[in-house]
Structure 1
Amino acid sequence: MASSRSAPQPAFVLHQWDWSETSLILDLFTREQGRLAAVAKGAKRPYSQLRPVLMPFQRLLVLTTRPKAASTDEHADILLLRSAEYAGAGAALPPARLFPGFYLNELLMKLLARGDPHPALFDAYADALQALAVAPDEAPLRAFELLLLRETGLLPELSRTTTTQEPVRPGQHYRLSGDSGLVVAADEAARLPGSLCLALQAALDADDRPALRRACQGGLPALRAQLRALLHYHLGAPALRTRQLMLDVRRLLDAPAPPST
């Protein structure tokens, strides 16, 4: 775990847990130190100044320090939150986009180790939240999945096949394999056109997030299926909790009303 900070740093709250009657443990995503665990003492008190600040999807400035007894404490990797303030800027996620936001948070918590800085990914996450606040489709989600996989070294190059190193052809179709990377696809429903692979790789190489979202819009159904399979392969889990909860809510809303009594 990195040393304590001497100045506030940008951060987002990914998740929080009850620690006591008055305090919380936070999973923070910071720009300079990556994911951190920090205890926010007294944050649950009704008049705590931290209470309205420690909300998900709000850009914050946080100051953390290491507890004095960290060398002997069994919770030595948990820092103390000394201060947190709203950093402003950005549109709030509307209620209909909260589930996608929590989905991004869960991906970060499961794919990033604590104390591993990813400043470019931090910026991409902040940008994805802004796009989600105004975008009516899922392109920001697919674009962030691609950036997350690339940043963690799990995304193969999309301009050539992984095993044979043959250049991707615009008229050919491909799929993402957890074992073999990018491979030529057989007759499968969710195939990635070569033209899409090339557009995605060009946007990734240019670090152009708006262009990446535009490229994703050109093949959302196939891209969703391929990235979902690749993420599940590396996560070793059949389903993410936020995705399953979102499906359960949709089924509940689509279910016929119970008979009146």
Structure 2
Amino acid sequence: MAAAKRISDEPAYVLHSYDWSESSLILEVFCRRQGRVALVAKGAKKPSSNFRPVLLPLQPLLLTYSLAGDGAGDIHTLKGAEWVGGHVMPTGDALLSGLYLNELLLRLLARADAHTGLFDVYAGVVRVLASEHGDALEPVLRSFELLLLRDLGLLPTLDAETATLATLRPEGRYTLVAEGGLRMASQADRASLSGSQWRALQKALDEAASYTATLRACAPVSAELKPQLRAVLQYHCGSPVLRTRQLMMDLQSL
């Protein structure tokens, strides 16, 4: 009988885990080369398990797992997990923000669809969340949302009106909507950006170092960008409302 094929030393992050049996877990992980993968971690709930202290969200890992059957199975078997180190677990608002990003990836990424560049961006964002991030938190989140939408083909070009393809006027006000892309803003719109601001975002996205450039471009417009991107993301995630977002709203109302 042929030995099961293995994926070894794969950079990954745990997005979510849930009980599979009294002693085991099912993990949803985001791998650099393999994309989103489901793994069973046998015995991971046992106090003596080597997996128990390692399989945490927002921590950089190297995973080894064997492919189910001919490799086409949905759930593979975890064989090894090593913490790479480098930063501590985010706390407070940064922790909630990281769990929000994890929920976006769970909702929007297809299984076994690699997004190497997005993985590297996510790893950079997690490092910021675990640091003394200060005022960088909101721009970091907005830049990740933009890059996620772009990678999935869900972001329209940001230097022209979507319906007419007309170039944005620098002084005009435009809003991003889920079903119509970029359009002229009306008085009913909660948030909008100027044409020059949208064009600056598109220019940043087009740069080779798009994460760094987009982060800089998002910094002055994060507050206006936030409700627009959140509405687009929620539209593509479908119902219900993202659990982490609902938790944030509930905490803000206390």
Normalising by structure 2, we get a TM-score of 0.90
The alignment covers a number of residue pairs equal to 246
The equivalent residue for 1:143 is 143
Letter in 2 for 1:203: A
How far residue 79 of structure 1 moved from its aligned partner, in angstroms, is 0.3
How far residue 4 of structure 1 moved from its aligned partner, in angstroms, is 4.6
The equivalent residue for 1:213 is 215
How far residue 179 of structure 1 moved from its aligned partner, in angstroms, is 2.2
Contact 2:175–2:228 (CA under 8 A) maintained in structure 1: yes
Asked if 1:85 is matched to 2:60, the reply is no
Consecutive unaligned residues in structure 1, runs of 5 or more: 253-261
How far residue 129 of structure 1 moved from its aligned partner, in angstroms, is 1.1
The equivalent residue for 1:255 is none
- Give deviations 1:209-254, integer Å, cap 9, x for gaps: 22212221211222011111111222222521101012212323xx
Superposed, 1:124-163 pairs within 5 Å as: 124-133=121-130, 134-136=132-134, 137-163=137-163
Contact 1:196–1:218 (CA under 8 A) maintained in structure 2: no
Asked if 1:174 is matched to 2:174, the reply is yes
Contact 1:12–1:59 (CA under 8 A) maintained in structure 2: yes
Consecutive unaligned residues in structure 2, runs of 5 or more: none
| SS of equivalent residue, structure 2 residue 147 | helix
How far residue 17 of structure 1 moved from its aligned partner, in angstroms, is 0.3
How far residue 70 of structure 1 moved from its aligned partner, in angstroms, is 8.1
| SS of equivalent residue, structure 2 residue 76 | strand
2:231 to 229, 232, 249: 229
Moved more, 180-189 or 28-37: 180-189
The equivalent residue for 2:36 is 35
The equivalent residue for 2:199 is 198
Normalising by structure 1, we get a TM-score of 0.88
Distance 1:46 1:150, change over 3 A: same
- Give deviations 1:21-50, integer Å, cap 9, x for gaps: 111100000011100000001111112111
| Separation in structure 2 between the aligned mates of residue 224 and residue 194 of structure 1, nearest angstrom | 17
| Separation in structure 1 between the aligned mates of residue 240 and residue 49 of structure 2, nearest angstrom | 39
Distance 1:32 1:4, change over 3 A: farther
Moved more, 30-39 or 208-217: 208-217
Distance 1:173 1:163, change over 3 A: same
| Separation in structure 2 between the aligned mates of residue 51 and residue 233 of structure 1, nearest angstrom | 36
Task: List, as ranges, runs of 4+ consecutive aligned residues in structure 1 with deviation greater than 4 Å.
Answer: 68-71
Contact 2:104–2:237 (CA under 8 A) maintained in structure 1: no
